[in-house]
Structure 1
Amino acid sequence: MILNLITFASQLHKQAAVLSSHEMVLNELEKYFTVNLVDYHDIDKLTDNDFQLLFIATGGVERLVIQHFESLPRPAILLADGMQNSLAAALEISAWLRSRGMKSEILHGELSEIIKRIFVLHSNFKAQKALSGSRIGVVGTPAPWLIASNVDYLLAKRRWGIEYTDIPLERVYEYFARITDDEVGEACATFAGKALACREAAPEDLIKAMRLYRALKQLAVEENLSALTLNCFKLIEQLGTTGCLALALLNDEGIIAGCEGDLQSVFTQLVMKVLTGKSSFMANPSMINARTNEIVLAHCTVGVAQTEKYIIRSHFETETGIGIQGIMPTGHVTLVKCGGECLDEYYLSTGTLTENTNYLNMCRTQVRVKLDTPAEYFLRNPLGNHHIMVQGNYAMQLHEFMQANGCRRME
């Protein structure tokens, strides 16, 4: 990891004396990072792909910094160990930057804490870069019942650097028609062979569902999609199958895939992927106990890589096609949802997956989660229906990332 320190030092101080006075902090940084000291005159030689901090080396550099305002990294992270009046200058600079609407933070204090914070900031930086330029395919229009899950494409691009692109379902139908049953026969046999059981679904249902998976994968590759969300209910009338299997397999392969054309949820899934490296479970909150802070999450698709075992079922609402009943491992989980038309709000909670439930009148994959925060959020201030669950505790990374991007936490 290369740490570029844009160094601001007063011309009244000799360069050698400046560096020697900060020897302790620089030596500690070099234990963890490749430190590249960059004179402020050369700030324009760095690119947006270079991780940068502002190293306030002396006092008296306030005007030097503001003269380079347009070239400063966003957010502006100021490193100041206090030597040579550096902290005094950093405080003044930080206040000025924030008055101009730029997020700013000062790194100062115990060196071990500074190192930890730099790792968090670098993680945020990498995630933002991974998101920037991502293309999210909206295959078909969002489901009509998602009345609170809209996204303003332009505002989302300005804030996050992502691009939503509308793709008509007719392209899926075209690719689907080209794929023969024979082409997917082996894949169907392999998938069925690894299942714990097969209940309502028939072999022809599995063949159709696998053909749809191939069609969506071809579309994702051709459109260079990082993620896609599919209006799966519209497919049923035309193709006689559901998208549950296709979305599960795409998620397993690293192509983030969400249900029902939900624009906010697929973005949340993408954020989870770039921050944690993991695929996630998009689900309906189906039962809530505000007294015990327990929630049952349910949906008819889940990436099989997230499960310990899976059962091939039909789709719950329509009793057609292929649904997946995944048996997921118990243990720590993180529940999150990004909301708002410009994706500037979020809900976040850790919890423990305690049980895989099997209610008859719910979607196929069902998990009970004991939340570490009040479940009343869902009843009083929810960010819509679908929420996203990932295995493991990633609360700190997600909170830091959303806060760094000026988002408001809903509780």
Structure 2
Amino acid sequence: MTIHLITFSSALQKQTSIYKMHEVLLSELEKFYTIEIVDYKDLYTLTEDDFKLVFIATGGTEKYFVRNFEFLPQPVILLTNGMQNSLSASLEISYWLQCKGLKSEILHGDIKTIVHRIQIHYNNFEAQKAIRGKRIGVIGTPCSWLIASSVDYLLTKRRWGIEFLNIPIENVTNRYELISDDEVGEQAAIIAGKALACREATPEDMIKAMRVYKAIKQICEKEKLVAITLNCYKLINLLGTTGCLALSLLNDEGILAGCEGDLQSIFTFLAIKAVTGNTPFMANPIQINLKNNEIVFAHCSVSTKLTEQYILRSHFESNTGVSIQGILPTGDITIVKCGGECLDEYFVSSGRLLENTNYVNVCRTQIRVKLDNPADYFLRNPIGNHHMVVLGNYEKQLDAFFASNNCKRAE
């Protein structure tokens, strides 16, 4: 791992003596990283793929920082050991950023603490790189009831570097008609064979659901999509089936797939994957017990790779198609949602999955979880309906990632 230190020093200080002046700090860092000292005047030699920190080497550098601020990485991470009044300059710069509503952090003091914080910022940097330039397909427009889940395409592209691509639902139905039963029959049998049971769904339902899966996958390959969100309810009227199984299988294969055309949720999928490497379960809160700080989440599609076992069911609301009733492992989980039209606010809480429930009048995959943070967030200040459940405790990593991108945490 290479750290490029964008170095600010006063005109009185010769650049050649920077390393010697700060040898104690830099030699300690070199035990963990490759260090490249880059004079701020040579900023143009670095690319967006280079990991950079701002190194305040001396006092009297505030004016140089201000002149070059727009070219510096965000958030601004200031490294200083205090030599030559460098800490004083860092404090002044940090407050200047604060007055402009911008985020910064000063790395100073114990080397272990500095290294720990650098690693967090590097992980965030890598996650941001993983998101930047990605294309998300919006198939069939968002469902009409998602009145608070819209996203401004232009502003989110500026903030995150992602692109939302609108795809007519007819692109799916047209491809669906060209796919024969024979093309998907063998794979449908394999999936059914791995299921613990098959209840309402018929063999004919399986074939139709698999044709939808193959049609959407073809679109993903053609458009180079890393993620899609599908207005699955339009398929019910057009094809007499749902997208639940298709979304499950796409998630199994690493193509992130969410329900109902929910733009904020599919971005949350992308962020979770970038930070943790894991695919989440998208769900509705359906019961909240404030006394026990517990919530039941449910939905009709989940990646089969997240489950210990799964049952093939019909879609709950329409009683058509094929959905997944997944049995998820108990243990640590994290609840996550990034929202707002600019995707600039978020909620995150660790917790524990206590049991898989089996209520009759609820979506098929159901889990009861106990949160580590107050569950009344969902009644006081929720970021919409859908929330993502990721297996494992990643609250600190996700909190650091969203906070580093100037997102506001909902409590």
- So what's the TM-score if we normalise by structure 2? 0.97
Question: Where do 5+ consecutive residues of structure 1 fail to align?
Answer: none
Residue 174 of structure 1 corresponds to which residue in structure 2?
174
CA distance in structure 1 between the partners assigned to 2:33 and 2:137 by the alignment: 37
The Cα offsets for residues 79-127 of structure 1, whole Å up to 9 and x where unpaired, read as 0011222111211222233334543221111110110111111111111
Tell me, in whole angstroms, the C-alpha distance in 1 between the residues paired with 2:339 and 2:267.
Answer: 9
Tell me, yes or no, if the aligned pair for 1:200 and 1:313 is still in contact at 8 Å: yes
Corresponding pairs, count: 411
Q: Secondary structure at the match of 1:65?
A: helix
**Alpha carbons 1:18, 1:58 under 8 Å: kept:** no
> d(CA) in 1 for partners of 2:372 and 2:395?
11
Output the amino acid matched with 1:375. A
What one-letter code is carried by the residue in structure 1 that aligns with 2:155?
Answer: L
- The answer to whether structure 1 residue 34 and structure 2 residue 40 are counterparts is no
**SS of 2:42 mapped into structure 1:** helix
C-alpha contact 1:309 1:326 (8 A) present in aligned 2:
yes
Q: 2: CA distance between counterparts of 1:368 and 1:248?
A: 20
Could you tell which deviates more after superposition, 3-12 or 345-354? 3-12
Hey, what does 1:273 align to over in structure 2?
A: 273
Given that 1:208 and 1:241 are in contact with CA atoms closer than 8 Å, whether structure 2 keeps it comes out as: yes
Residue in 2 that maps onto 1:43: 43
- Distance in 1, matches of 2:15 and 2:149, equals 55
Aligned residue in 2 for 1:188: 188
Corresponding residue for 2:132? 132
Matched, 1:289 2:266: no
Q: Deviations over 1:303-329 (max 9, x none)?
A: 000111111111111111101010000
**Secondary structure of the corresponding residue to residue 190 of structure 2:** helix
Matching residue of 1:231: 231
Q: What SS does structure 1 have at the residue aligned with 2:193?
A: helix
State the identity %: 63
Structure 1 stretch displaced more, 60-69 or 44-53: 60-69
Deviation at 1:13, TM superposition (A): 3.1
Change (3 A) 1:15 1:237: closer
Q: What RMSD, in angstroms, separates the aligned Cα atoms of the two structures?
A: 1.4
Which letter does structure 1 place at the counterpart of 2:316? F
> Can you list the C-alpha shifts for 1:48-70, whole angstroms capped at 9, x where unaligned?
11110111112222222223223
- Three-state SS of the structure 2 residue aligned to 1:118 is helix
Find out whether 1:222 has 2:222 as its counterpart: yes
Distance 1:260 1:21 in 2: 59
Residue of structure 2 in register with 1:163 after alignment: 163
Specify the code of the residue in structure 2 equivalent to 1:195: A
**What SS does structure 2 have at the residue aligned with 1:369?**
strand
**1:8 and 1:65 in contact (8 A); partners too:** yes
Describe the superposition over 1:282-321 as per-residue Cα deviations: whole angstroms up to 9, x where unpaired.
0010111011010000011100001111111111111111
Question: CA 1:371/1:102 → structure 2, altered by over 3 Å: closer, same or farther?
Answer: closer
Distance 1:100 1:294 in 2: 40
Q: Could you tell which deviates more after superposition, 146-155 or 228-237?
A: 146-155
Question: Once the 2 structures are TM-superposed, how far is the Cα of residue 17 of structure 1 from its aligned partner?
Answer: 4.2
Q: Secondary structure at the match of 2:133?
A: coil
Task: Tell me the distance in 2 between the aligned counterparts of 1:75 and 1:380.
Answer: 30
CA distance in 1 between partners of 2:101 and 2:286 (Å): 41
Structure 2 residues without counterparts, runs of 5 or longer: none
SS of residue in 1 equivalent to 2:235: helix
- Deviation sequence 1:165-187 (CA, Å, 0-9, x none): 11100000111111111111121
* Residue in 1 that maps onto 2:246: 246
Return the TM-score normalized by structure 1: 0.97
